[in-house]
Amino acid sequence: MNIQQINNSLAITDFLANQGFQPAYKKRNDWWYISPIRPAERTPSFKVNTTLNRWYDHGSGEGGKVFDLALRLYRNETIPETIQRISEQFFFSQATPVKERKLPGKPTAPAVPASPVAPSPKIEIQEVQALSKGSQLSAYLLNRGIRHSTAQPYCSEVSFSIGEKEYQALGFPNSSGGYELRNAWFKGSSAPKDITYVDHGAASVCLLEGFMDFLSLLELRPHLQPKSNFIILNSVALAGKSLELLGQHRQVFLFLDRDAAGRRLTEKLLHANVEGIDASSFYRNHQDVNEYLVARKQRMKRSRQKHRLG
């Protein structure tokens, strides 16, 4: 399955229904929803035109096809992961076929079968080294508000290849030996994909979606490090793998993203058989912990500059 096949085969209304979203009302071919990609709203502003199979969010000014919507809902996943997730969720023979709009005076072009797509080259780890303080990767982290001293115990510099080309990225290990890989232009992961469990032998645990948020939380609240364990999902799709570990802790602090997917997961965990506490209020005006950290440091920098000029 590829992006073109997904966009041509899957109705947006089917996709939204599968994610738990139902229209607030329908007006002919326009189905109106409470926006799934922004914080909760009272008046539906997210429209799906079932004839065109296109969506438009009047609150954010965004719109597009079904895969564009999937990328916004699964914002912590790579494109290949999103394609795989949709392929697993939908057996397209069961999905509502998308009707092509026939424009007046214009003959409908014959359907062209999609060309088979070769599988993406696999990420191969070549070398893992300690994170150097003066490296470009440390500079990248500093741009994200994270100091070398905070990241060094958990991250490495990883050389990896995709096909015949070699690259370098920040590597964050998961519990099965794979790595989350990040640099200024790349976001991916090596197999096997899994959650990361940081065990300090504590009775409480902090749950986060990505390792940038984990490192950001340590920057903001360094006192948590010896007092709490941490679970980093590395993808909201792996939330199920964390349930057994979460149930082993007396308290579960949820530092999940404040987008639609993160809020849904937070609500599910608060009603699950875990002692969940939504701890996201301090970054409620931001998408995630890292975005809050970067904004906070920028405010502090402007304040210092203003003080010196004054």
pLDDT in tens, 58-114: 887 888 999 999 988 888 788 888 888 887 666 433 333 444 444 445 444 444 444
Q: Given phi > 0 = left and psi -120 to 50 = alpha, else beta, which region is 177?
A: left
What phi and psi values does residue 256 have, to the nearest 5 degrees? -90, 165
Q: What b-and-e string marks burial along 184-204, b requiring 16 or more CB atoms within 10 Å of the CB?
A: eeeebbbeebbbbebeeebeb
CA neighbor of 152 nearest in space, from 218, 96, 92, 205: 218
Work out the mean pLDDT of the chain and round it to a whole number. Answer: 85
Q: Given phi > 0 = left and psi -120 to 50 = alpha, else beta, which region is 19?
A: alpha
**Interior CA angle at 8 toward 6 and 9, to 5°?**
65
User: What integer pLDDT is reported at residue 155 of this predicted model?
Assistant: 98
Q: Given phi > 0 = left and psi -120 to 50 = alpha, else beta, which region is 20?
A: left
Chain-centre distance for alpha carbon 113: 32
User: What integer pLDDT is reported at residue 97 of this predicted model?
Assistant: 40
User: What integer pLDDT is reported at residue 256 of this predicted model?
Assistant: 96
**Under-70 pLDDT residues of the chain:** 1, 40, 88-121, 310
CA neighbor of 208 nearest in space, from 181, 247, 234: 234
Per the listing, tokens 């199920």 go with 240
Domains and CATH numbers, the chain: 3-89 (3.90.580.10), 121-191 (no CATH), 195-310 (3.40.1360.10)
User: What integer pLDDT is reported at residue 1 of this predicted model?
Assistant: 63
User: For residues 219 and 146, is the Cβ–Cβ distance under 8 A?
Assistant: yes
If DSSP codes are grouped into helix, strand and coil, which group holds residue 132? coil
Per the listing, tokens 């979203």 go with 21
Q: Which residues contact 20 (CB under 8 A, 6 or more apart)?
A: 264
If DSSP codes are grouped into helix, strand and coil, which group holds residue 79? helix
Helical residues (DSSP H) of the chain, grouped into ranges: 3-9, 12-18, 66-73, 79-89, 136-143, 148-151, 211-220, 224-227, 239-246, 260-270, 289-309
User: What integer pLDDT is reported at residue 98 of this predicted model?
Assistant: 42
Angle between helix 239-246 and helix 260-270 axes, rounded to 10 deg: 30
User: What integer pLDDT is reported at residue 230 of this predicted model?
Assistant: 98
